[in-house]
Structure 1
Amino acid sequence: MSDQRTTSAEAAPRLTSHLRALSLIAPLQRAEDNKGMLHVAAKAAERVDMRYLALAAIELLIDRMGAGGTASRAELIEYLADLARLQSRGLSGTDALALAEHVFDGLTNARDRRARFKVRLFDPDKADGVIFEFALLRAEPLPDGTVGYRLTQEAIEIHLSLLAHDPLTATQVSEIIVGEFLKRGLYDHAVSAAERTRTNSIRLAEALRLLMAEARRAILKVMWHQELGPKMEEARSLLDASIMREGAMLAQLSDTAADVTDETDRRHLSRIRNLLLDVQTRHRKLIVVVQKTAEEYLHLQADALKLRPLARLPDLENEILDPLLRAPDSFLIENADGLFGAISGTLPPLVLDLGTTIAAFQPDIEDIDAIDPDYAFDDPTAGIALPFDEATIARSEQFARETILAAGAITLGEILERAARARPEDDAFQRCLFFILEQAIDPRTTDVTGDASILATRFDAGFVEGTDVRFSRAAATGGGIHASQ
């Protein structure tokens, strides 16, 4: 069991520096987590990011220290309150000041009476771990009797560690840092820098892999010379420089190892050598991939363009018309319609446009002199003679009178049904009867049960409503009574 515990402890990664970095940013996150405990408007304060305010305070102090100055507590509070109101328009001035003071207290560790932050970090080499103490802001008395605040080294580390770098740049920087630590004999710091170098090399390999994968997914849209080519050329140049730098550092380690007698330093040098060999091997594989990418990508793009073969139009005269002229007449007669449609294409259906046809034969008024029209009126057209003879009209009037008088009140449909049963073969009689009954609806026409109807009069029954008309005997005052049914 003892051997197993010892082996486990030796294999455990030493992540104390990583825990240290997390401890530095813990006060910034704590200010965000605890803002709900403040006596401020909850909805307005919810939109305010306290981490942004803490980083903004660090940025302001960096600007002041760059000019050799400091910032007072009042200046920091006022600056952070303005930024809080910028994030939440509904935040009151009092609540903004409360949030700003909360951030300032978090950066200065007000809950522990402005003492230094103190955290315990796990370390596999030490049973009780290590105690890490740090501060973010440092108060400094000024000649005018006031107090100004500066950033500590740990706060500046926060600012630097949160800066984003592309994988190529980060790899170069971390390698240069490893070389500088080796020159100064700071082997423990060189180990940490070499570990960051390995991490950055893995990040670089993944970034290049994703870049090429995205390019292959859009093989027809990404142009090599304008988009992907320059990035790959930059990566190739930097990888060449990295491989040469790593080779120089490995040679330096070989020369230095013989002169180092301290066991801890020798262990650090062995660790650095293994890390740099891993990075160099990865970079050598990457540079081969980058060098082959251009040719492979261009071949893939060319193959993608060949997926759709070009369509060739036939030679109409040599390949179609000439063979048709040599074909037998029977074949041409049977397939004339199909051959004509294939050669000439589909014709739209013919539509006679009367308006366009008439307009084509009319002169353009703009092209001729305006002529006043001369209207001439012809004699009235003679009326059309009735198609019924006098005997048919008399029989129809007599039948209508007798039927209406016998019934007292009867509809038009019933009269016509009786006429059809009485004279089924006499179409002229039935039509004449219908016209007489139809005209009898008009008040201008004489009652059909009295005097003769006037067939020559044009009938207009627009005032009649309903589906059928009921006829009855004339009233005492004269005139027919016709009701719509």
Structure 2
Amino acid sequence: MVHSTGALPQLSGRIRNLIHVEPLVRLSLDRNSVVQDQPGLFECVDLYYAALALLLFLMERRTVDLGASRTDILEYMSQVVLAMRPDMPLTMARRAGEIVFEALANGRNQHQAFQRDYFERDRGMLVHDFRLINVLPHDDGRILYTATEDAIILLLESLNVSPEIAQKAEEMMLKYLVESGRLAESIDLAERARMRSIQYQQFIRDK
């Protein structure tokens, strides 16, 4: 008997967006095992905050420079950690920031892309390759780091925007995609807009 998948929802885009959060979740879950030589390093340190702050820092650096150097990143991350743990020695704060950076850059695998299996309704099991941080060697010998498009999407998805504003923004985006002939993306966004409409109806009822 052949089973049709036509009635199943198309969730590929949402699944890929969820997958992008996994390095942050893994970092939080492994917070003790990754620093066995320094127990308590991440005590009272919000690793989700630190991770998102790093991605935001790298995203903003794209607007003013080609990227951020490792030194820039570790200096910034040490300040992020010290804001949560003012009592921590600077060397330990720098180490904590370095661990966050390496976790998001997939340092344990030589900064290669993360890989994750996922199910696609029409094609079955696929592999999603993604990065949150790009490693960019330059002609002058510098190695710079930037937030990837996937990282920026992760940041945008985490914004706390009211359903009313989000619905209007998505309607404008849908109009643009249709007019641009980007039909595949417009179908995904139309489904998202439909779900946003349901959310907005619930928002109105709960007011």
Q: Normalization by structure 2: what TM-score?
A: 0.91
How far apart are the structure 2 equivalents of 1:125 and 1:45? Answer: 43
In structure 2, the partner of 1:75 is 72
In structure 2, the partner of 1:429 is none
How far apart are the structure 2 equivalents of 1:31 and 1:75? Answer: 21
User: Does 1:171 pair with 2:167?
Assistant: yes
C-alpha RMSD over aligned residues: 1.7
User: Does 1:152 pair with 2:142?
Assistant: no
How far apart are the structure 1 equivalents of 2:61 and 2:194? Answer: 36
Instruction: Report the alpha carbon displacement of residue 40 of structure 1 after superposing the two structures with TM.
Output: 2.2
Q: 1:112 aligns with which of 87, 104, 109?
A: 109
Is this contact kept in 2: 1:135–1:154, CA < 8 A? yes
User: Which letter does structure 2 place at the counterpart of 1:206?
Assistant: Q
User: Which letter does structure 1 place at the counterpart of 2:21?
Assistant: I
Instruction: Report the alpha carbon displacement of residue 144 of structure 1 after superposing the two structures with TM.
Output: 4.0
Secondary structure of the residue aligned to 1:122 is strand
Is this contact kept in 2: 1:139–1:150, CA < 8 A? yes
Instruction: Report the alpha carbon displacement of residue 89 of structure 1 after superposing the two structures with TM.
Output: 2.9
How far apart are the structure 1 equivalents of 2:204 and 2:191? Answer: 20
How far apart are the structure 2 equivalents of 1:76 and 1:58? Answer: 10
In structure 2, the partner of 1:90 is 87
Higher strand proportion (structure 1 or 2)? 2
User: Does 1:103 pair with 2:87?
Assistant: no
User: Does 1:55 pair with 2:52?
Assistant: yes
Task: Considering Cα pairs closer than 8 Å and 6+ residues apart, tell me whether 1 or 2 has the greater RCO.
Answer: 2
Higher helix proportion (structure 1 or 2)? 1
Instruction: Report the alpha carbon displacement of residue 197 of structure 1 after superposing the two structures with TM.
Output: 0.7
Instruction: Report the alpha carbon displacement of residue 58 of structure 1 after superposing the two structures with TM.
Output: 1.3
Is this contact kept in 2: 1:53–1:103, CA < 8 A? yes
In structure 1, the partner of 2:8 is 12
How far apart are the structure 1 equivalents of 2:75 and 2:27? Answer: 17
User: Does 1:45 pair with 2:42?
Assistant: yes
Instruction: Report the alpha carbon displacement of residue 145 of structure 1 after superposing the two structures with TM.
Output: 2.4
Secondary structure of the residue aligned to 1:11 is coil
Is this contact kept in 2: 1:41–1:91, CA < 8 A? no
Instruction: Report the alpha carbon displacement of residue 95 of structure 1 after superposing the two structures with TM.
Output: 2.5
User: Does 1:188 pair with 2:184?
Assistant: yes
Tell me the percent identity.
27
Q: How many residues align?
A: 205
Secondary structure of the residue aligned to 1:178 is helix
Is this contact kept in 2: 1:139–1:148, CA < 8 A? yes
User: Which letter does structure 2 place at the counterpart of 1:46?
Assistant: E
User: Which letter does structure 1 place at the counterpart of 2:38?
Assistant: V
In structure 2, the partner of 1:122 is 119
Is this contact kept in 1: 2:32–2:39, CA < 8 A? no
How far apart are the structure 2 equivalents of 1:58 and 1:166? Answer: 23
- CA deviation map 1:221-245 (0-9, x unaligned): xxxxxxxxxxxxxxxxxxxxxxxxx
Secondary structure of the residue aligned to 2:159 is coil
- CA deviation map 1:180-228 (0-9, x unaligned): 22112222211110111111111111111111xxxxxxxxxxxxxxxxx
In structure 2, the partner of 1:323 is none
How far apart are the structure 2 equivalents of 1:62 and 1:18? Answer: 22
In structure 2, the partner of 1:24 is 20
Aligned pairs for 1:356-435 (under 5 A) are: none
Secondary structure of the residue aligned to 1:10 is coil
- CA deviation map 1:386-411 (0-9, x unaligned): xxxxxxxxxxxxxxxxxxxxxxxxxx
Is this contact kept in 2: 1:40–1:98, CA < 8 A? no
Secondary structure of the residue aligned to 1:130 is strand
How far apart are the structure 1 equivalents of 2:86 and 2:78? Answer: 12
How far apart are the structure 1 equivalents of 2:10 and 2:66? Answer: 39
User: Which letter does structure 2 place at the counterpart of 1:197?
Assistant: A
How far apart are the structure 2 equivalents of 1:29 and 1:98? Answer: 19
Secondary structure of the residue aligned to 2:48 is helix
How far apart are the structure 1 equivalents of 2:31 and 2:8? Answer: 37
Instruction: Report the alpha carbon displacement of residue 116 of structure 1 after superposing the two structures with TM.
Output: 0.8
Instruction: Report the alpha carbon displacement of residue 143 of structure 1 after superposing the two structures with TM.
Output: 5.0
